[in-house]
Structure 1
Amino acid sequence: MKFSLGCALGYDVKEPTPFLFNVELAKVATQTILTETLTLSPSLEAERWTMPETGNRYLRVVAPAGRFTLRYEADVDLNPVLESPELVTELAAGEIPLPTLVHLYPSRYCQSDRLQRLAQRTFGKERPGYSRVNAICNWIHDNVDYVGGASDELTSAIDTATERAGVCRDFSHLAISFCRALGIPARYASAYAWRLDPPDFHAVIEAYLRGPEGPGWYLFDPTRKSAANGLARIGIARDAAEVAFASPFGSVDFDKPDVWINAQDPSPPAAPTTMAIRCE
């Protein structure tokens, strides 16, 4: 499925300020970038870096005092693999590739070590594999209220489990924590999300499971607000601390981000909710 997407970000900069952006699409096997443009105003020299482990694309600029804007536009062809959930199972710790083991460890916002008892009591008897991760997402959707402004940059999975309110970032951190507590590698993914209303940068998770073609990463949206086959990924990380869409290192005022993603086909189908979505 082909999509047109992008974002427009605006800032009033008080003094010369470095910015680090992560808004460009990741170059991964299941999404092909057809076209893309990045416009900075004023025109600035940009330093680029792609993280080897993840494919995340970072952009650094130093904006002068005054008005500064960034606009990113792209056309992308998404080709996630649809599989039967019954065929997607878990891996034993001794089978997980060493580079993937880092996604079993607690991280800043995902204190999986402190949620093990709750995870085992709530999900320990679920069928291992895709079904268990899906059960985690269903539980979060049913037991945590989606409330804008209920959390901030300090809110962690422990806070969300206690307060039972948050936004997509908080839903994802809690799902990741439960997965890791159960021995399932899981990571955070930022994305442009088709059918998300209102449009915004969206957070989902990826769980490392074994499918018919071998081990790989599978997409889940604990908020249930987007179409899983319309998630154009930007960055992947242990948690949100590593994939903020913008990080200014100075005093700035900012506009509300303008984010969009539109299907090029006027009436494309969403993936069946009963199917597993493999992204890598």
Structure 2
Amino acid sequence: MRIGCRLTYRLTQPTPLIAMLNVHYSRFGDLERADYLVTSPSVPLESYRDGYGNWCTRMMAPTGDFTLSTDGIFRDCGLPDPVAPDVMQHVVQDLPYETLVYLLGSRYCDTDLLSEEAWRLFESTSPGWTRVQAICDFVHSTVSFDYMQASATRTASQTMAERHGVCRDFAHLAIALCRCMNIPARYCTGYLSDIGEPLPHPPGDFAAWMEVFLAGEWHMFDPRNNKPKFARILIARGRDAADVPLTQTFGDNTLAEFKVWTDELT
């Protein structure tokens, strides 16, 4: 697959910027051509790993139009998302310490406002994969997807009340409900291809999904699509979207261009 993106910002003054646009280190070995970050005009880049292991690049963007782009060749296994319907849930006292942070509320996953409703809805489900799938089924069936309803400030409890949103809202609500049920859950962002999907496809975009900790491993769930998909390529993961902004600008800006591609190559 050819994967990449191009984002152009219009800046009124020199602006510090942090980008998180490269394939996650756990999938780096699948890159046949590295998706190096390129800027136009060219500026010095400084890269580092954040507290979650994500690869970040910081820079000072100049006044005017400033473009960030990546373009790589990625070899995917060609198989759909894995499923493991028999895996079970840990009791809290047996969870590894590094997973405990993913039981807590966070900026967009306000578990304190959803706990009572989560237990009312899912207490009778079987702990483990079955319970997580029931949560995804609920979110998928009760929340409608609408690009025009995107909001940078919508929390999980607001999605529950408003019943609409985009993929990050589906993920935030499912994550919050899992945490309420004592299942560690974390937010993921990356590429998701339309390979195998009937035409026409909407314009390319990045996607959000979640991972939950069951039977000693992290397992992927996608409450937005709620079915196995092909060529899901991780960029970053954290507690919620606040931890993994694709770009973080520290000043006024206008997004003038946004393009993402995940094209199958013969």
Q: Common fold, TM-score beyond 0.5?
A: yes
Match of 2:185 in 1: 186
Report deviation, 1:39: 1.6
Secondary structure of the equivalent of 1:232?
A: strand
Q: CA RMSD in A?
A: 2.0
State how far apart, in whole Å, the 2-side matches of 1:248 and 1:54 are.
Answer: 20
Provide structure 1 residue ranges, at least 5 long, that are not aligned to the other structure.
Answer: 266-280
> Superposition pairs for residues 170-249 of structure 1, below 5 Å?
170-195=169-194, 197-210=202-215, 215-224=216-225, 227-249=228-250
The 1-side partners of 2:155 and 2:91 are apart by 27
Inter-partner Cα distance in structure 1 for 2:75 and 2:132? 27
Counterparts of 1:226 and 1:71, CA distance in 2:
30
Match of 1:145 in 2: 144
For 1:65, the equivalent position in structure 2 comes to: 63
Counterpart check, 1:260 vs 2:249: no
Give the 3 Å change call, closer, same or farther, for CA 160–31 of structure 1 in structure 2.
farther
SS in 1 for 2:25: coil
| Aligned positions of 1:114-153 closer than 5 A | 114-153=113-152
How far apart, CA to CA, are the structure 2 residues paired with 1:82 and 1:164? 26
Using the TM superposition, name which of 57-66 and 147-156 deviates more: 147-156
Which whole-Å CA distance do the structure 2 matches of 1:31 and 1:257 have between them? 27
SS in 2 for 1:207: strand
Measure how far apart 1:111 and its partner are: 0.9
Letter of the structure 2 residue corresponding to residue 191 of structure 1: G
Q: 1:58 to 1:132 in 2, by over 3 A?
A: same
Structure 2, gaps ≥5 residues long: 195-200
Residue deviations 1:83-123 (CA, integer Å, cap 9, x gap): 65332111111111101100000001101122111111111
Specify the code of the residue in structure 1 equivalent to 2:46. E
Change (3 A) 1:72 1:83: closer
Residues paired across the two proteins, number = 258
After TM superposition, the structure 1 = structure 2 runs for residues 105-116 of structure 1, keeping only pairs within 5 Å, are: 105-116=104-115
SS at match of 1:176: helix
Identity, % of aligned positions: 34
* SS of the residue 1:87 aligns to: coil
Give, as a single letter, the amino acid of the residue that structure 1 aligns with 2:265: Q
Q: Identify, as 1 or 2, the structure richer in strand.
A: 1
TM-score scaled to structure 1, two decimals?
Answer: 0.86
Q: Does the CA-based 8 Å contact 1:27-1:33 persist in structure 2?
A: no
- Offset of 1:173 from its aligned partner? 0.4
What are the residue-to-residue correspondences of 1:259-278 with 2, within 5 Å?
Answer: 259-264=260-265
Instruction: Please give the alpha-carbon distance, in whole angstroms, between the structure 1 residues aligned to 2:25 and 2:113.
Output: 34
3-state SS in 1 of match to 2:159: helix
